[in-house]
């Protein structure tokens, strides 16, 4: 216990000394999120913060040190996160490599694959994207068709992926391909390849938010070495499911108040509506809606903490991420509906400086995808009903 207290005080001192002031302010727009990669687009403070944290392995504090992690115990990892939250430190690196591929590699990768990829993920040197969905394989993901023909030491991959987040900015992709037509789930393999490979092209998809975070990705006779396959041939579905659990965990975190401190919803409501002479929001029904929302948001914060604790202790039900994903994304949609209601006509401005380029409206529209991506809310409820409540099919 004393050791943990020491760790905590040393960590706080180190964070105080190394977290740049710009990295202790609330995240207000997409530009405030650091993704790293071969062609990073750093804002002031982002590079220093990323390098400082990566030097200690603290972008992935609980990964083993030989793979670029911090080698921290669950209790130390929790203490680090709490100290970061207390100082309002931003997340140093956003990465599908950390939240999705990394855990899958740690479980299913060979030693060579781990040593090759994990340290680069930890340092933010390679930006990853995910090749799962296809035009005819959404909620029914296992019906995917992108094919990988056996060509000796490599596969030849052909097909199309869709909803590949940031494929146009990513360096590598982790991708589900069909290596056998004999079985639906048992004919899928999990492969990695460089987005700069011959035959790979991407096309952004414009969304209702006016942004294009997603792409269509086309594969035309792409050569993928067999050494880049994770786990056995035709066993990719196991890896995919494991990774989806982590994706759902990551997406569910969106229901929590933003990192970097402050509560944009409450601050926004006060700015737009004002307080009455008793210090209460001048719109009583908006105030009540926000207050009841905050009860759920804080309770969900406790749920997230409990889930992480249970996960680290190996006590979490394997279908629990589905519950978290469902609740967290529905909550996040509710948060942004309230934020728009509070902002009124100001929040509707699409391009003005005052609205920070329509940040609130675009964020609101973006959240509508939360309950679709990574498996729809209805798919998550199906999983909870069948695997946790054990209801009949």
Partner 1 sequence: MPLYLDDQQTMLRDTARDFIAEHAPPAHLRALRDANDPTGFSRDLWKQFAEMGFTGILIPEAQSGMGLGHVEAGVVLEEIGRNLSPSPFLTTAVAAVEALRGTAHADRHYPGILAGDTIAALAIDERAKFGDGIALAAERSGNGFRLSGTKQFVTHAHVADLILVAARTSGSETDQDGVTLFAIDAKTAALDIRPERLADSSLASRITFANIELHADAVVGDVDNGREVLNRLLAAGRTGASGELLGVGGGAMDLTVAYLKERKQFGQTIGSFQALQHRAAHLYAEMEVARAAVLKAQQLLDAASPHAGQAVAVAKAMTGLATTLSVQEGIQMHGGIGMTDEYDIGFYMKRARVLAEMFGDANYHADALARESGY
Site residues for partner 1 per CB under 8 A: 74-75, 78, 263, 266, 269-270, 275, 279-281, 287-288, 290-292, 294-296, 298-300, 302-303, 305-307, 309-310, 312-313, 315, 323, 326-327, 378, 380-382, 384-386, 388-393
Q: Cβ closer to partner 1: 111 or 277? A: 277
Tokens found for residue 131 = 């090749």
CB 375 within 8 A of CB 325: yes
Catalytic residue among 76, 247, 330, 373: 247
Q: Cβ closer to partner 1: 33 or 273? A: 273
Q: How far is the CB of 304 from partner 1 (least distance, A)?
A: 8
Pairing of strands 229-230, 172-178: unpaired
Q: Cβ closer to partner 1: 50 or 331? A: 331
378 labelled catalytic: no
DSSP string, 262-321: S-HHHHHHHHHH-B-TTSSBSSHHHHHHHHHHHHHHHHHHHHHHHHHHHHHTT-S-TTHH
Pairing of strands 214-225, 154-165: antiparallel
Question: Rounded to whole angstroms, what are the CA distances from 350 to 115, 132, 211, 346, 370?
Answer: 45, 32, 12, 9, 21
Tokens found for residue 205 = 């998809």
Quickly list H helices, 109-228.
111-123
Q: Cβ closer to partner 1: 290 or 363? A: 290
Q: Cβ closer to partner 1: 181 or 278? A: 278
Rounded Cα distance, 171 and 156, in Å:
19
Q: How far is the CB of 196 from partner 1 (least distance, A)?
A: 42
Give catalytic residue positions: 247
């Amino acid at each position: 216990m004393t050791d943990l207290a020491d760790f905590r005080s040393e960590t706080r001192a180190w964070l105080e000394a190394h977290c740049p002031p710009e990295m202790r302010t609330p995240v207000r727009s997409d530009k405030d999120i650091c993704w790293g990669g071969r062609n990073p687009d750093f804002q002031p403070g982002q590079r220093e913060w990323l390098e400082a944290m990566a030097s200690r392995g603290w972008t992935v504090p609980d990964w083993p040190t030989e793979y670029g992690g911090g080698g921290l115990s669950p209790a130390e990892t929790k203490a680090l996160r709490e100290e970061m939250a207390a100082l309002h430190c931003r997340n140093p690196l956003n990465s599908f490599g950390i939240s999705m591929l990394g855990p899958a590699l740690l479980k299913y990768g060979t030693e060579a694959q781990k040593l090759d990829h994990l340290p680069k993920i930890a340092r933010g040197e390679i930006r990853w994207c995910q090749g799962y969905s296809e035009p005819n394989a959404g909620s029914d993901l296992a019906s995917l068709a992108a094919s990988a023909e056996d060509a000796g030491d490599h596969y030849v991959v052909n097909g199309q992926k869709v909803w590949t987040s940031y494929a146009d900015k990513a360096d590598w992709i982790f991708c589900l391909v069909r290596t056998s037509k004999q079985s639906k789930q048992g004919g899928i393999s999990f492969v990695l390849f460089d987005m700069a490979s011959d035959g790979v092209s991407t096309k952004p998809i414009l969304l209702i938010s006016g942004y294009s975070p997603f792409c269509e990705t086309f594969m035309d006779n792409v050569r993928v070495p067999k050494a880049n396959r994770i786990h056995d041939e035709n066993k990719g579905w196991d890896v995919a499911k494991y990774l989806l659990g982590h994706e759902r965990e990551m997406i569910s975190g969106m229901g929590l108040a933003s990192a970097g401190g402050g509560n944009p919803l409450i601050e926004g409501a006060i700015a737009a509506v004002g307080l009455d002479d008793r210090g209460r929001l001048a719109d009583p029904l908006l105030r009540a809606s926000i207050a009841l929302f905050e009860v759920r948001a804080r309770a969900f914060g406790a749920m997230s903490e409990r889930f992480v604790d249970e996960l680290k202790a190996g006590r979490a039900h394997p279908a629990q991420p589905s519950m978290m994903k469902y609740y967290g994304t529905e909550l996040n949609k509710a948060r942004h509906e309230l934020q728009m209601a509070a902002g009124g006509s100001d929040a509707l401005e699409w391009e003005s400086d005052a609205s920070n380029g329509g940040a609130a409206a675009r964020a609101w529209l973006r959240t509508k995808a939360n309950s679709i991506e990574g498996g729809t809310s209805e798919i998550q409820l199906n999983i909870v009903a069948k695997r946790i409540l054990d209801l009949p099919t």
